Amino acid sequence: MRSTPFLSRRGLLAGAGALTALALAGCRAAPGAGALSDVTLNIWRYKTTAGNFMEEAGQADTPYKVRYIDLPGGPLVLNAYAAGELDYAYMSEIPPAFAVQSGISLKLIATHQGDVNNSGVLVVKGSSARRFDDLRGRTIAYTPNTNNHYYLLKLLEAHGMTLNDVKAIGLPINDANAAFTRGHVEAMVSSGISALLTESLLGGRWLVRSVKGLYSGNFCISAHPAALADPLKRIAIQDYLRREQATWQWIYRNPDRWADRSGQLSNQPAALFLRLAREASRPGLIVPPDRTAMTNLQQVADDLFKFRLVKGRYDLSRLWDKGLI
Q: Are 265 and 253 members of one domain?
A: yes
CA–CA gap between residue 21 and residue 145 (Å, rounded): 42
Q: Are 287 and 246 in contact (CB under 8 A)?
A: no
Please state, in angstroms and rounded to a whole number, the distance separating the CA atoms of residues 190 and 272: 15
Q: Does residue 94 sit in the same domain as residue 233?
A: yes
Region 19-42 average pLDDT: 60
Distances (CA, A) of 318 to 101, 177, 280: 14, 38, 31
Residues 174 and 138 in one domain: yes
The predicted structure's pLDDT at residue 40? 97
The amino acid present at 215, given as its one-letter code, is Y
CB within 8 Å of 255: residues ≥ 6 apart: 274, 277, 278
Taking all residues of the chain, what is their mean pLDDT, rounded to a whole number?
89
Residues in the chain: 325
User: Could you tell me what percent of the chain has a pLDDT over 90?
Assistant: 82
How confident is the model over 38-56, as a mean pLDDT?
93
Q: Are 103 and 178 in the same domain?
A: no
Which of 20-34, 132-146, 294-308 is predicted least confidently? Answer: 20-34
The pLDDT score that the predictor gives to residue 258 is: 96
Shared domain for 107 and 121, answered yes or no, is no
- The pLDDT assigned to 225 comes to 97
Is 2 part of a structural domain of the chain? no
> How distant is the alpha carbon of residue 160 from its chain centre?
28
Domain stop point among 153, 177, 210: 210
Q: Are 2 and 283 in contact (CB under 8 A)?
A: yes
Confidence of residue 325 (pLDDT cuts 50, 70, 90): confident
CB 205 within 8 A of CB 127: yes
Handedness of CA 317, 241, 92, 294 (dihedral sign): positive
Query: Read out DSSP for 27-40?
Result: HHTSTTS--GGG-E
Q: Which domain holds residue 183?
A: 117-210
| 137 domain-assigned | yes
- Domain edge (last residue) among 145, 177, 210: 210
SS3 119: strand
Lowest mean pLDDT among 181-185, 198-202, 203-207: 198-202
- Name which of 250, 130, 117, 286 is nearest 193 in CA terms: 117
Asked if the model's pLDDT at residue 18 lies above 60, the reply is no
Three-state secondary structure call for residue 228: helix
Strand order in the sheet with 107-113: 65-70, 40-45, 88-92, 218-223, 107-113, 286-287
> Do 106 and 255 share a domain, yes or no?
yes
Which pLDDT band holds residue 68 (cuts at 50, 70, 90)?
A: very high
Same domain, 230 and 305: yes
Q: Are residues 170 and 107 in the same domain?
A: no
Q: Where is pLDDT greater, at 47 or 53?
A: 53
Q: How does pLDDT run across 222-256, given as a tens digit for each residue?
A: 999 999 999 999 999 999 999 999 999 999 999 99
How would DSSP label each residue in 68-112?
Answer: EEE---THHHHHHHHTT--SEEEEESSHHHHHHHHT---EEEEEE
**pLDDT at position 290, please?**
92
Task: Answer whether residue 17 shows pLDDT above 70.
Answer: no
Q: Which of 147, 175, 210 is the last residue of a domain?
A: 210
Higher pLDDT, 62 or 24: 62
Write out pLDDT tens, residues 73-97.
778 999 999 999 999 999 999 999 9
Q: Given pLDDT bands bounded at 50, 70 and 90, which one contains residue 201?
A: confident
Same domain? For 43 and 79 the reply is yes
**What residues contact 192, with CB distance under 8 A and at least 6 apart?**
48, 115, 118, 119, 276
Half-sphere exposure of 276 toward its Cβ, with a 13 Å CA cutoff?
27
Q: Cα separation of 134 and 155, whole Å?
A: 13
The answer on pLDDT for 28 being more than 80 is no
Compute the average pLDDT of residues 187-216: 93
What is the rounded average pLDDT of the residues 275-294? 93
Q: Cβ contacts of residue 59 below 8 Å, gap of 6+? A: 16, 243, 244, 246, 247, 250
Is the model's pLDDT at 64 over the cut of 90? yes
Q: What is the C-alpha to C-alpha distance for residues 212 and 189, in angstroms, rounded to an integer?
A: 15
pLDDT at site 5: 31
Give the domain CATH number at 127: 3.40.190.10
